[in-house]
Amino acid sequence: MNLSQKIDRYLLFSELCAFLTFGIGFVALMGWSLESRLLFSMNPNYKPMPPNGALTSIIGGLSLYILNGSFSWKKKFLFSGSIFIILISIIRVIEYSIDIDFGIDFLIFNFKNYGKWYSTAAKTSFFGALNMTLAGISILLLSIRKEYKFLEYISIFIGNIITFIGAVFSLGYIYGVPLFYSSNQVPMSFNSAFMFIFLGIGISLAGSIPEMRQRLAAEIQLDEAKKQIESAFLYSASGMALIGINDNWLRVNQPFCNILGYTKEELTSRQFFSLLERESVIDYIVKFDDLLSAKVESLQMENQLQHKSGDLVWALLSISLLRDEQNLPEYYIIQMQDITKLKKIESDLLNAKSVLEEALHSKSHFFAAMSHELKTPLQSILGYSELIAEEASQVGAEQIVADSLKVNRSGKDLLKMINDILDIAKLDAKKMEVKSDLFELKILLEELIDTIKPLLAANKNTFSLFISEEITFIYQDIDKLKHILLNLLSNACKFTVNGKISLAVNLSKIDSKKWIQFEVVDTGIGIPEEDLRRIFNPFQQSIDSNTRKYAGTGLGLTIAKQFANLLGGDLTVESKVDEGSRFIVILPLRDSSESYLLDSI
């Protein structure tokens, strides 16, 4: 018999006991109403059930029936009924204790001619009153059991006491023991004794049902969970298997078999370790031992397994160990995914990466070689152009001087471009070194201003400089910092006409760390929002039609940003078209005692 059937039987017997309890009380009450001694006492020698006992028996039977139902007014009725039973029964216990009759039955009935029968009733039955008091208490406890679960056990215990007392007096009547029914003070009526057997059993059964329902609900949830787990095991897209501690197969799903090309029968006839690549078996045995000894909770490994065809299949294995309540190992849970295609893609990507790296290295090597090859004759051109200009100036050949200076300027522009290409090549090859020194920042900035004065004058721009008083000497790579600032200031001069350009240097604090911040602000043409994302990419310039007339390779900002990153900082930009741009360089504020060795970005 399963738990659901057991609950149904408990409910049936509890309701039957409720009906019998109600019936005994109702019959006795009808006997008093119809003056039929046969109804309220089956034997003239037995003490009959008093009217108050009959009434409490009726209420007790009703309460027991309602207790197992789901009526909306259930709690109110049970509370009221149990309080009524307890009050009546306590009054009866007091009557016994002080040997007095309060006339409860005369309040229930207006006795007329059948008072002679009432004189024979067990009106001061102590055990009857005590039992009914216990019954009222147990019904009250069961009515509030949801709030206090332990009350169910107390109610069951009380129900057993009620049943025991009723059984004792019933046996006394059955076997004719006068002690249980002949005294004026001690006796319990015959029908009350049997009524208490049914009422006590009913209360015990009703107290047991809620816990059984909870157990049934838990079993249903557990069965549902088992079904879900079973479905997940059988219909999972991944291969799943349960393997015993002795390397024996317990269960395996179809995807596991499909990955390796075996049927379930073929697969379970082999040991799991025999499927592994030979070189990895020892490693797996060690790791399985780590699982057994609880050094690790689970394993996840990529490995090659032998397919039925003889090929090797790449698989991602996730392995865990299930333990019992005593923490003893039961079996391994293995999940497997076929990653052969992913491994092929990974291999192709690695090969492509290798080819690309080689191509990039060749490109950087080519740029460096070509740049060096170009710089040698270019240096000669610059030297000769300066020499020609000097000699032409001495003889008064002004046209030759002008042409020589043009050649010299173009040569310097070409040299700057070549230097930029060399820098990019070094950055790509991660061979750019940082050489930090302690220097006075103000002197560096004054040199920069002298350098850009011709550019400022060319486009009729004004310039302002602000340096925080807190900043004097800094420890940085002076050449790279100069390169960054010169590039930003040169761009500001180039893209601003009749405007304002400023450089502000301040200290800032980010995450309790001190930084030095350089802000280059101009009122130039600005940068379109769609170009801000790519402005720092190599060989990129704003595609705005207004900027196509400005020359440049598009390497300046790329190098400036990578230099800033190389120095431990960053370069960012904010800009609006026709309003200007704001470039911000932040670098860590360090001193010469700090170690700062960066051989590559």
Residue 367: predicted pLDDT: 67
Q: Which residue has the higher pLDDT, 280 or 199?
A: 199
Residue 186: predicted pLDDT: 45
Q: Which of 10-14, 98-102, 190-194, 506-510 has the lowest mean pLDDT?
A: 98-102
In the predicted structure, residue 566 carries a pLDDT above the cut 80: yes
3-state secondary structure of 502: strand
The arithmetic mean of pLDDT across residues 14-31, rounded, is: 86
Question: Is CATH 1.10.540 the classification given to domain 344-428?
Answer: no
Q: Per-residue confidence at 181, pLDDT binned at 50, 70, 90?
A: very low
Residue 182: predicted pLDDT: 45
In the predicted structure, residue 178 carries a pLDDT above the cut 80: no
The arithmetic mean of pLDDT across residues 393-409, rounded, is: 81
In the predicted structure, residue 135 carries a pLDDT above the cut 80: yes
Structural contact between residues 538 and 554, judged by C-beta atoms closer than 8 angstroms: yes
- Distance separating alpha carbons of residues 268 and 281, to the nearest angstrom: 18
**Could you give the percent of the chain with pLDDT greater than 90?**
16
Q: Per-residue confidence at 44, pLDDT binned at 50, 70, 90?
A: low
pLDDT digits (tens, 9 = 90+) for 264-278: 888 888 888 888 877
Cα 148 to Cα 142, 152, 168: the distances in Å are 9, 8, 32
Long-range contacts of 378-381, Cβ-Cβ distance < 8 Å, separation of 24 or more: 378/411, 378/414, 378/415, 378/418, 379/415, 381/407, 381/411
Residue 518: predicted pLDDT: 95
Residue 149: predicted pLDDT: 72
- Distance separating alpha carbons of residues 64 and 132, to the nearest angstrom: 13
Instruction: Domain 437-588: give its CATH code.
Output: 3.30.565.10
Q: Kindly report the average pLDDT of the chain as a whole number.
A: 81
Question: Is CATH 3.40.50.11900 the classification given to domain 236-338?
Answer: no
Residue 108: predicted pLDDT: 59
In the predicted structure, residue 104 carries a pLDDT above the cut 70: no
In the predicted structure, residue 598 carries a pLDDT above the cut 50: no
Residues 6+ apart with CB under 8 A from 157: none
Q: Which residue has the higher pLDDT, 374 or 443?
A: 443
In the predicted structure, residue 137 carries a pLDDT above the cut 80: yes
In the predicted structure, residue 58 carries a pLDDT above the cut 60: yes
First to last CA, the chain: 76
Q: Per-residue confidence at 501, pLDDT binned at 50, 70, 90?
A: very high
Residues of the chain with CATH 3.30.450.20: 236-338
The kind and range of the H/E element at 365 are helix 340-395
The arithmetic mean of pLDDT across residues 162-180, rounded, is: 75
Q: Which of 238-247, 278-287, 314-323, 533-542 has the lowest mean pLDDT?
A: 533-542
Structural contact between residues 537 and 558, judged by C-beta atoms closer than 8 angstroms: yes
- DSSP letter string over 104-128? HHHHH----TTHHHHTTS-TT-HHH
Residues of the chain with CATH 1.10.287: 344-428
Q: Which residue has the higher pLDDT, 431 or 319?
A: 319
Q: Which residue has the higher pLDDT, 242 or 409?
A: 242
The DSSP bridge pattern shows strands 513-522 and 580-588 to be antiparallel
Please give the single-letter amino acid code of residue 317: L
240: left (phi over 0), alpha (psi -120 to 50) or beta: beta
In the predicted structure, residue 338 carries a pLDDT above the cut 50: yes
Residues of the chain with CATH 3.30.565.10: 437-588
3-state secondary structure of 18: helix
The arithmetic mean of pLDDT across residues 107-112, rounded, is: 54
In the predicted structure, residue 110 carries a pLDDT above the cut 60: no
